[in-house]
Chains A and B, each alone.
Chain A
Amino acid sequence: MTDASLAGLSGAVLHDEIVPARAPWRHRVNAGETLRIVDLEGNQAVDFLMYAAADDAERYSAQDTIAAQANIFLRTGTRLLSSEGRAMMTIIASAVDYHDTIGGACSCESNTLRYGHHTKAQHACVDNFLDANLRDGRGKRDMVSNINFFMNVPVEADGALGIVDGISAPGLTVDLKADMDVIVVVSNCPQINNPCNGFNPTRVRMIVSA
C-alpha cells in the first residue's frame, strides 16, 4: 500500500514520527535535509520555533521573515530568517495557501486574557515549547514569535485580526528545506478555545528526508 504522506519526497527517510495531540517535539534537522509536516486529520495548528544548532542565541525571527518578503503570510518560497537575518529553512512546498507567523503561541497566561481565568490550568503551547527547550538548556528568554503551520490569521483593512477557521485538510503537508543546521521545536497545539485546531487537537506526522 502506498503511503500518501511520503509522496514527492526525494531521498531516504531519515526520521518518521507521529507527534501525539497536545505534545511537544524537538529534533535536529541538518542543512540540506527536508522536514515534511503532515496535518494528518486536518486543521491542526503546528506551533514551530527553530534555533541555529551552532549558536542557539540565533533563532527564528518572524519580523525579519515578514520584512524581507514584505508580506505577513508564509507561502511556498518563503525563506524563514533568523534574528541575524540569515536563512534557516525555506518552504519548498505547501499544500495549504499560506501559514501564520503573527499569531504567536497560546500560553496559560494569555489564555486568561483571551478567555478568562478558568482556562489558566489548561495545557498550552508555551508550556510545550518550554518543556522541549528546557531539555537543551534554553528557557523563557529563548521563546520568541513563532510560526503556526496550518493556522489562519487574516488581517482586515482596519487592522482587525484573529485566529479563524483553518484552510487545511486531512493529509495536507508543508515541506521545509534546511539552509543551516537547526534545532526544530514544535508544539502540537493543545488549544480548545478557538478554531485553530477545529476545537479538537489531533496528531501530526514529522518526516525528515535527504
Chain B
Amino acid sequence: MTVPGAALADPNAARDHARAQEGTIADAMPILPPVADDLPAGITADDLLWEETIAPGGYATRRLPRGSRTRLIDIEGDACASILVFNAEMPTERLNVADTVKIQWNGYLGAGKLLLSDMGRVLMSFEADSAGTHDAFCGASNAASNARTYGEGGNWSAFPNARDRLLLGAAKHGLGRRDVHPCVNLFKGVRIVQGGGTLLDTGPFAPGRAVTLRAEMDVILVIANCPHVLDRRPWSVGKLRATAWRGAIAGADDAIRNATPEGRRAFANVDDLYRR
C-alpha cells in the first residue's frame, strides 16, 4: 500500500487512514467474537471462547477456564507449538516437564496423557490427538541457537526463537524470565534412541493434524510457533490455529481421570484445590 506522506499531514487524515483498515483479513489473526464452522458435535457457537490463527514464528496466549477445551490444528502440517501452562490463580504453580514424564512413567505425549504441575496436580490433559509426534525433551529454541541456525533470532527479526516468544507471552500476564521454564513441543516429535540420542521427526506431515487439550484447572496457556530447536531445514514452520470452547470438568467416571493410579491422584489433588 503506497500512501503519500503529505496526505496524512493532519490528524483527521491519519484517523481516516487508520479507520479504513477495519475489516482487513490477514493470514494470522484472532477472530472477535470467535467464529468456527467446524466445532465438534454438541458444541454450539455460544460455547466458543477463542479463535485465532497464529503466524509462523508467532505466539499467542490465553487464560482458559477449568473444563474448557483448546483445539490446536497444524494447518499446513508444519507447525511446532511450544507450550507453557500456569495455574491462572497462582502462576508460581506451572507445568513441570520432569514430573510430567516421570510420574506417567513415559516420555512420549499423546492422547490420554496429562500435563502435570510442580504441585502434583494436572493442569491440562490430551483429550484427543491425531498427530502423535510431540516432544518433552528438547524444549525451546533460544536467541543463540537461532542465530547459529538462521543468522539471527530476536523477537524483532525474521527468525524469532521460541523462548523469547514464550517470554513475551508470559510477560502479558505479568510474568518474567524466571517464569519461562521447560516447555513441551507439539506436532514436532522427538524419540529417544539407543544410547540416549534425540531423534527429531519433522515430517512431512499431513495438513490438519489436531490436538485437543482439556483444561483441568483455570490456566494460562502460552504458545510459541517457531521451528523446533533441532530442525536443521532452512527456516520452515506452518500456521497454527487455536480454537477453544467451554466444557464440563472431568467427572468421577472420566476415562482420562481413571486411566492410572498416578493420574487419579493428580485429579484428586485438583479436586482438593477447588474444594472451597
Q: Which residues of B contact A140 (CB under 8 A)?
A: 92, 118
Segment with Cβ contacts to A, from B5-13, B64-72, B141-149, B209-217: B141-149
Q: Give the complex CA separation of A113 and B119 in angstroms.
A: 10
A160 adjacent to B105 (CB under 8 Å): yes
B139 adjacent to A64 (CB under 8 Å): yes
B99 adjacent to A86 (CB under 8 Å): no
Interface code B172-186, partner A: CB below 8 Å = 1, 0 otherwise?
000011111111000
- Known contacts: A71-B197, A72-B198, A117-B265. The answer to whether A143 contacts B102 by CB under 8 A is no
Tell me the number of A-to-B contacts counted with CB atoms below 8 Å.
140
The binding surface of chain B is classed by DSSP as mixed
Q: Which residues of B contact A117 (CB under 8 A)?
A: 265
Does A31 touch B at the CB level, under 8 Å? no
Residues of chain B in range 19-64 having any CB-CB distance to chain A below 8 Å:
none
- Known contacts: A109-B118, A109-B120, A126-B118. The answer to whether A144 contacts B102 by CB under 8 A is no
B265 adjacent to A85 (CB under 8 Å): no
Interface code A150-173, partner B: CB below 8 Å = 1, 0 otherwise?
000101001111110000000000
Does A48 touch B at the CB level, under 8 Å? no
* A109 CB to nearest chain B CB (Å): 3
Q: Give the complex CA separation of A104 and B144 in angstroms.
A: 25
Residues of chain A in range 160-193 having any CB-CB distance to chain B below 8 Å:
160-163
Q: Give the complex CA separation of A145 and B136 in angstroms.
A: 12
* B93 CB to nearest chain A CB (Å): 8
Does A102 touch B at the CB level, under 8 Å? yes
Q: Give the complex CA separation of A134 and B269 in angstroms.
A: 26
B98 adjacent to A104 (CB under 8 Å): yes
B120 adjacent to A112 (CB under 8 Å): yes
- Known contacts: A70-B198, A126-B118. The answer to whether A109 contacts B269 by CB under 8 A is yes
How many residues does chain A have at the interface if contact means C-beta atoms less than 8 Å apart? 48
Q: Which of B96, B102, B138, B177 contacts A161 (CB 8 A)?
A: B102
Most A Cβ at <10 Å: residue of B97, B107, B116, B179: B107
Q: Which residues of B contact A153 (CB under 8 A)?
A: 102
Look across to chain A and name the residue whose beta carbon is closest to the beta carbon of B145: A85
Q: Give the complex CA separation of A62 and B191 in angstroms.
A: 17
Q: Which of B92, B108, B120, B144 contacts A107 (CB 8 A)?
A: B120
Q: Which of B116, B144, B195 contacts A86 (CB 8 A)?
A: B144
* B90 CB to nearest chain A CB (Å): 10
Q: Which residues of B contact A139 (CB under 8 A)?
A: 92
Q: Which of B116, B137, B144, B197 contacts A84 (CB 8 A)?
A: B144
Q: Which residues of A contact B107 (CB under 8 A)?
A: 102, 155, 159, 161
Q: Give the complex CA separation of A73 and B98 in angstroms.
A: 14
B182 adjacent to A144 (CB under 8 Å): yes
- Known contacts: A67-B145, A141-B92. The answer to whether A110 contacts B265 by CB under 8 A is no
A110 adjacent to B103 (CB under 8 Å): yes
Q: Which residues of B contact A105 (CB under 8 A)?
A: 98
Q: Which residues of A contact B262 (CB under 8 A)?
A: 113-114
* A82 CB to nearest chain B CB (Å): 9
Q: Which of B101, B265, B266 contacts A102 (CB 8 A)?
A: B101
A109 adjacent to B119 (CB under 8 Å): yes
B198 adjacent to A116 (CB under 8 Å): no
B98 adjacent to A57 (CB under 8 Å): no
Q: Give the complex CA separation of A160 and B192 in angstroms.
A: 10
Q: Give the complex CA separation of A44 and B116 in angstroms.
A: 26
Most B Cβ at <10 Å: residue of A63, A103, A139: A63
B198 adjacent to A71 (CB under 8 Å): yes
A63 adjacent to B137 (CB under 8 Å): yes
Look across to chain A and name the residue whose beta carbon is closest to the beta carbon of B181: A144
Residues of chain A in range 42-101 having any CB-CB distance to chain B below 8 Å:
57-58, 61-64, 66-68, 70-73, 83-86, 98
Q: List 8 A-B contacts (CB under 8 A).
A: A73-B196, A83-B142, A103-B98, A109-B269, A111-B120, A114-B102, A145-B96, A159-B107
Extra inter-chain contacts (20) besides given A61-B182, A67-B137, A68-B145, CB under 8 Å? A57-B177, A63-B139, A72-B196, A84-B143, A85-B145, A105-B98, A110-B96, A110-B116, A116-B265, A139-B92, A141-B92, A141-B178, A144-B181, A155-B107, A155-B196, A159-B108, A160-B105, A161-B102, A161-B105, A162-B105
